[in-house]
Amino acid sequence: MKKEIKLSSELETLPGVGAATLEKLEQAGYRTLLSIAVATTSELMELTGMGSAPVKKLINAARGSVKMDFQTGEEYQEKRAQVKRISTGSKNFDKLMGGGIETGAITEAFGEFGSGKTQLAHVLSVRAQTLEGEKEPTTIFIDTENTFRPERIRQMAKSLGLDEEKTLQNIMIARAYNSDHQMLLAERIDDMITSKKMNVKLIVIDSLTAHFRAEFVGMGTLATRQQKLNRHIHTLLRLADTHNLAVYVTNQVMARPDIMFGDPTQAIGGHIVAHACTYRLYFRKSKKNTRVAKLIDSPGLPDGESSFYVDISGLRDVEV
């Protein structure tokens, strides 16, 4: 017996949205009028199988039902007042980031293996649960390279005086086996927040580009790869903005042999990733087992760098 689809109280008011269309929209993460209002005609046509004219009518109806006008700088400042910051555990690193990793934004960390990107992912997963005023804050960890280690979470939770079992229970982990699986997992997060009422405050993807890099080889596949990556990262942007949560992604690097002077290290993903991420951090190894995080892009913070080292409890400042 086919399951009866109950229409959403919001989307049922839109023209052309029946049970079948609603199911497709909800499975893809479109559950509010705002999500339809900001969608493109092409993506909804591909998703629903509807023609151009009906989809445009659908989008226009959604836009007419939600407030999408300009707002004053003062009104936007009030919205910015809701932003929170997750501590890295290092005072100098937090200072570099204006207080920590910001909600409502995507923070990218790229660098060579062993530079501390995954360590920070574990630190943030634990420290997100210490945010003030938040009830049962949850972390979503999408693991693409088999890097998540529960024993590391236990160590960090114990050092902060947190319950180890509860800390692990508040981290939802999924292993992504290819780029399509990774994109699907990200699209399901909205349902976890709206339907399952999870208070998700952090999304971690370690790493963002590993599958895309492995699956799309050669210049002939570059356009397809970038289009998929663009769609994926804009899903993350929408989640960060709509639910005021932090997104932390790690990124792989490549060496550019044509760079004669300076550091030849370059992040994977090109301009698609570079422009979409709110904050960009370059991690590198330094002397005596220390690491350096360099802030190379930010909408409102000056460029700078911070040294840290990793111990059993997380990230620590380097004593000068």
Domain ranges in the chain with CATH number 1.10.150.20? 11-65
Q: Tens digits of per-residue pLDDT, 86-104?
A: 999 999 999 999 999 999 9
Residue 4 pLDDT grade (very low, low, confident, very high; cuts 50, 70, 90) = very low
Assess if CATH 3.30.1330.30 describes domain 78-317.
Answer: no
CB 98 within 8 A of CB 131: no
**Cβ(11)–Cβ(31) below 8 Å:** yes
Q: What is the pLDDT of residue 9?
A: 55
Take residue 190 and report the two structure tokens written for it: 């909205």
pLDDT of residue 30: 79
CATH 3.40.50.300 in the chain, residue ranges:
78-317
Distance CA 83, CA 99 (A): 11
Give the H or E element holding residue 276.
helix 270-276
Pairing of strands 246-251, 199-206: parallel
Neighbours of 72 (CB within 10 A): 8
pLDDT-derived band at 255 (thresholds 50, 70, 90) equals low
Instruction: Please report the DSSP string for 1-56 in residue order.
Output: -PPPPPPPTTGGGSTT--HHHHHHHHHTT--SHHHHHTS-HHHHHHHH---HHHHH
Rounded to whole angstroms, how far apart are CA atoms 248 and 106?
6
Q: Is the predicted pLDDT of residue 8 greater than 70, yes or no? A: no
Q: Which amino acid is at 166?
A: K
92 strand-pairing partners: none
CA dihedral 139, 142, 145, 146 (to 10 degrees): 60
Has residue 150 got a pLDDT over 70?
yes
Interval 192-235: pLDDT, tens: 998 888 999 999 999 999 999 999 988 889 899 999 999 999 99
Is domain 11-65 annotated with CATH 1.10.150.20?
yes
What pLDDT was estimated at residue 6? 47
Q: Residue 2: its pLDDT value, please?
A: 43
CA distance 11 to 31: 7
| Helix and strand totals (H; E) in the chain | 13, 13
Mean pLDDT of the chain: 90
pLDDT of residue 256: 61
When pLDDT is cut at 50, 70 and 90, the band that residue 176 belongs to is: very high
Mean pLDDT on 296-317: 95
The residue among 182, 122, 180, 170 whose CA lies nearest residue 314 is 122
Residue 253 gets the label, from left (phi > 0), alpha (psi -120 to 50) or beta, of beta
Q: Is 38:238 a contact under the CB 8 Å cutoff?
A: yes
Long-range CB contacts (within 8 A, 24+) of 175-184: 175/143, 175/144, 175/146, 176/142, 176/143, 176/144, 176/211, 178/211, 178/215, 179/211, 179/212, 179/215, 179/228, 179/232, 182/142, 182/144, 182/211, 182/232, 183/228, 183/231, 183/232, 183/235
Please state, in angstroms and rounded to a whole number, the distance separating the CA atoms of residues 61 and 22.
Answer: 15
- The closest of 284, 293, 314 to 115, measured between CA atoms, is 284
Residue 207: asked if its preceding bond is cis (omega within 30°), the reply is yes
| Residue pLDDT, tens place only, 9-42 | 578 888 888 888 888 887 777 778 888 888 889 8
Spatial distance between the Cα atoms of 249 and 67, rounded to a whole number of angstroms: 31
pLDDT at 19: 85
Q: Phi-psi region for residue 218, left (φ > 0), alpha (ψ -120 to 50) or beta? A: left
Predicted local distance difference test score (pLDDT) of residue 210 = 94
pLDDT at 1: 42
pLDDT tens sequence across 279-291 = 999 999 999 899 9
pLDDT at position 268: 83
